[in-house]
Amino acid sequence: MDSYHEPVLFGEAITALNVQPGGVYVDGTLGGGGHASGILARLNGTGRLFGIDKDTDALTSAAGRLRGAANLTLIHGDFHDMAALLAGHGASSIDGALLDLGVSSHQLDTPERGFSYHSNAPLDMRMDAGQGETAADMLARLDEAGLSRIFREYGEENWSSRVAKVIVSRRERSPIRTTLDLVDCVDAAVPKPVRMRDTGHPARRVFQALRIAVNDELAPLERSLESIVGMLNPGGRLCVITFHSLEDRIVKQTFARLRKPCACPPDFPVCVCGKLPTISMFGAKPISPAGDEVTRNPRSRGARLRAVEKL
């Protein structure tokens, strides 16, 4: 596929999106253009594909890979603002959208972006490197309670309070500026026997939590999904790939509510609230990567694809 970022669940996502020639589609997390290439192939020169990403590296890579596609429009922005971004290009309704949530392989493998706990680099973690505060800025600004909350809620870190306490203590002597500075804080906070039993890197949950907070990945997600569903034409589909339980839970619960919005008490014999379903589920269960994909691309482990169709 693409050296920038291998698209996860490529065939499954393109099939679930049900691309129709002449339709209008959105890849809301363009990355290196892997999924977009599949959508364009199905469009076969017809319709329109909008590719959105807030990472300018991604847009540059996708532009090179997808050069020559006259029906492709690249947009620098956040899919959370999809309605406004598309309105700026004269589009108010779409036939399908795909979201591949989380961090890309390119971002993880580019040390200077500060996403990885394996290399020493400035603590940045911004997906849009030109906007907002960095991870180092956030670690310097928040108090102990605020840091603990982020690590607990966004990383499900059992030692969140101790990690926050160590960070606050150490930054009084010297700023936490690099990825290995943060790794050292986690190592100091989490007891060695716990770290030795951990099958993954001890800092992975703290890094995930900080990345989510820096990029505000979860707070707008429910509203964004509702907005995108509202833009879909009847029969249009929204496909979402998630990589961890927090974002998957939001997607699952939002889709469930849109599929069964009735607010009547359960003992009412008939619905009187008038809230009607707006979507149906595509498939009874989320789709997971096949074993050969996980072997080829270990980062696909844990990915889940959920798809809905507009009624």
pLDDT digit of tens for each residue in the chain (311 aa)?
A: 445 667 999 999 999 999 999 999 999 999 999 999 999 999 999 999 999 999 999 999 999 999 989 999 999 999 999 999 999 999 999 999 999 998 998 999 999 999 999 999 999 999 999 999 999 999 999 999 999 999 999 999 999 999 999 999 999 999 999 999 999 999 999 999 999 998 899 999 999 999 999 999 999 999 999 999 999 999 999 999 999 999 999 999 999 999 999 989 988 888 899 899 999 998 879 999 999 999 999 989 999 999 999 99
The CATH number of the structural domain formed by 110-215 is 1.10.150.170
Name the CATH superfamily for 10-102+218-310. Vaccinia Virus protein VP39 (3.40.50.150)
Domain residue ranges in the chain: 10-102+218-310, 110-215
Burial zone of 204 (CB within 10 Å; 0-12 exposed, 13-18 middle, 19+ buried): middle
CB count within 10 Å of CB 214 equals 24
Distance CA 177, CA 140 (A): 9
| pTM of the complete model | 0.94
> Is 19 in contact with 65 (CB distance < 8 Å)?
no
For residue 310, give the H/E element and its range: strand 304-310
Closest CA to 308 of 248, 241, 259, 243: 259
Tokens of 234: 């009847």
Beta bridge partners of residue 48, listed in sequence order: 24
- Strand ranges (E), 11-137: 24-27, 48-53, 72-76, 94-100
Tokens of 134: 């960095």
